[in-house]
Structure 1
Amino acid sequence: MSITVHQFPCLSDNYGFLVRDDATGLAACIDTPDAGAILRELDALGWKLALILNTHWHPDHAGGNAQVKAATGAVVVGPKEVERIGQAPDREVSGGDQVTLGQTLLDVIESGGHTLGHIAYFDAADRAAFVGDTLFALGCGRLFEGTPQQMWDSLQRLAALPDETKVYCAHEYTASNARFALSVDDEPALKARAEAIFAARERGEWTVPTTIGLEKATNPFLRAPQLAGRLGLAGAQDYEAFAAVRTAKDNFKG
């Protein structure tokens, strides 16, 4: 079993992902940020779209569902909250469910916090996770609907995946995330990574995908418990330290 992931930029800072099951040729798109771009990429690749896999309901993730479905006949799979954009998914899924794309099995991971019903998709065989707006390179999603405890628990589910897992996050936020990370953490590995990120972005290169291992080593949101003392929160619960880092990021002006 193997998959091919085709990544492309769209909108102002989104990434689109098309995933092809190599055994059968069937493809899925992870979210529908830009229907026109998705359909153009499918046409250029010659891929047959079988599934639309939504991570959450936000319009820059599910807003293209109707147009892509109408053009391809793909089945929309996602959390119940996707109905908030006007049309419920054809198949509702939540944490613990599985989705089959040809011969590829995707585990559904509960990852609420950014939105209450947010989910991620994990291909264990190929060590690939499609995480929407839960985990970013050096960042995490804003808590628009969930609580710090919910988001911390979601991040821990993702952190429990194998270190070599490739993490396909939905936005190119990494340079700004790196600037914030440097303001709260002086870990040498972070400094080295930030320098590499700034140089890559200057060259117009992408910083996605990342890996679980790299995020565990350098992402201040996953490292929040280690940063508690620096933040004046010695002895705090892990989710409380996370909440402090998230609040600091929300107020960061750098």
Structure 2
Amino acid sequence: MTNEDVLQDHTHRQVVRIGDTVRRPAQPWTDTVHTLLHHLEAVGFPYAPRVLGIDEEGREVLSYIEGESGPLGWAKVVDDDGLTAFARLLREYHDATTGFTLPGEAAWAVGAKAPTDAEVVCHGDFGPWNVVWQGQQPVGLIDFDFARPAARLHDIAYALQYVAPFRDDAECTRWLHYPQPPDRLRRLERFCGAYGLSSTDGVVDAVLREQQENAERVRQLAAAGHEPQATWAAEGYLQDLGHKLAWSQAHRHLFE
């Protein structure tokens, strides 16, 4: 009998480790994501899992990346070194996607189409929880379910929600491992500088737009019956996202 180590066990999705592989339920966009992962392997991007096929249960099979991820990732980006490494990983990922050719029948989680100014395929869920860490160094980038063609700023803004962070002091100190309320402007500037932006002009507005668009993506996926978004919506997550956006709008002076 094959031993399975359950990495994620929700009613909507079970992710397991078997040996050096990870097995995840396939989605309508899995083939497109696999094409992207094959591209990343071909160009020598070392941080993405490798595609190993589909197993007898219809699950996608990916290589396992050893390290810490999920909730353990939050503490990794609190100090300057971790924040800088996190931003540089995003830049390296974006640069690796610039030569990606879209499959003829590409399907993305939210039905994205490449805008005329798109430079990259965004990860779509670039947060500390989807980075694999060994010590303070990122060694992997996982969970490409929300990858889609878009401008670089989409991923930058999405990440900054969580690592500037665009969250109140209580959440920062109680849940996100900050020893004291963070200097949000300094962290935003450090992230943008490490990524390679020459200016932070427009970044705060981009984060506010991304918070609105993220809520809309959750709403769309929930309406289509996709999980975990349907469960999130039923449990009031959309209202929570609305409260976070309102906080960001009221406190943008902390970031400028």
TM-score, with length taken from structure 2 = 0.32
Which one has a larger percent helix, Structure 1 or Structure 2?
2
TM-score computed with the length of structure 1 as normaliser: 0.32
Which structure's relative contact order is higher, taking Cα pairs within 8 Å and 6+ residues apart? 2
